[in-house]
Chain A
Amino acid sequence: QKEVEQDPGPLSVPEGAIVSLNCTYSNSAFQYFMWYRQYSRKGPELLMYTYSSGNKEDGRFTAQVDKSSKYISLFIRDSQPSDSATYLCALSGSARQLTFGSGTQLTVLP
C-alpha cells in the first residue's frame, strides 16, 4: 500500500465550477500537509501549506485536513482556465522531507 493515495483523474470541469481534489494517507507520522501545482513542462510550486486539522483558505483555494480520517482535500472555487495544471498533494513528517501523491491532472474548460 502506498503511503499517500491521490485520486488519479484526469478531471475536466467547466469554467466557474467548484473542484475537489483529494488524498488519503496511512502514516500517522505525517504532520505537515501541502498542495503543489505543476504546469506543463515546469517544476511544482507550493500552493497551500498547513499543519493542523481544519480548513485554511487563500483566495479561491481552501485546503482541508482531517487527521483522524487521514484525509486531505483541496477545493478550488470559481475555477478558471488558468487553474488547468496537475495538482500534487505532499506530506511531511520527517527529515526525508516530502512524500507526494501521484497527482491529479485538472483541465478547466472555458
Chain B
Amino acid sequence: EAQVTQNPRYLITVTGKKLTVTCSQNMNHEYMSWYRQDPGLGLRQIYYSMNVEVTDKGDVPEGYKVSRKEKRNFPLILESPSPNQTSLYFCASSFGENTEAFFGQGTRLTVV
C-alpha cells in the first residue's frame, strides 16, 4: 500500500529535550515536506526537500532541522524544543513540484 508513515503519532516532551519525528514514504517520490498545523493558521511549511541531500527552508523553519540522506526518509529534528512548537505535524511527499501531495497521519507534539 502506497503511504507516508510518521512516527510517533503522539509525543509529550519537556522543554529542551532533543527529539526526532521520522517520516518514510514508499512511493519513490522526489519531493518531501514537513508542515505544522495550528488552529486558525492552517498548514505552514517548515522545510522541504527536492531530492536526496537537497533541502530548503519553508515559511516557519526556526527551531527545526531536517536531513535527506535517503530518498524515502525525511526526519524532522527539534534540537531544543520549546512550548511554542506544540502543534500537529504532517509529513508529505509527491512526485514533483506542483503535483499531488500525499500526507502522513500526523504527529501531535506537546512540549511542556
Q: How many residues belonging to A are interface residues under a CB distance threshold of 8 Å?
A: 27
- Structural contact, A31 and B98, CB atoms closer than 8 A: yes
Q: With A88-B43, A102-B40 in contact, is A43–B50 under 8 Å at CB?
A: no
B interface majority secondary structure: strand
Contacts of A46 in B (CB 8 A): 100-101
- List the A residue with the shortest CB-CB distance to B6: A43
Q: How many residues belonging to B are interface residues under a CB distance threshold of 8 Å?
A: 25
- Structural contact, B103 and A45, CB atoms closer than 8 A: yes
Against B, the Cβ 8 Å flags (1 = close, 0 = not) of A27-52 are: 00001101000000111111001010
**Contact residues of B between 15 and 61, Cβ < 8 Å to A:** 31, 33, 35, 40-45, 48, 50, 56, 58
- Structural contact, A41 and B42, CB atoms closer than 8 A: no
Q: Does A92 contact B (CB under 8 A)?
A: yes
Q: Which one of A8, A42, A88 lies within 8 Å of B105 (CB-CB)?
A: A42
Contacts of A90 in B (CB 8 A): 101
Chain B residues within CB distance 8 Å of chain A: 4, 31, 33, 35, 40-45, 48, 50, 56, 58, 90, 92, 94, 97-98, 100-101, 103-106
Jot down 11 A-B pairs with beta carbons below 8 A, ordered by A: A43-B92, A43-B106, A44-B90, A88-B43, A95-B50, A96-B45, A97-B31, A97-B92, A97-B101, A100-B42, A103-B43
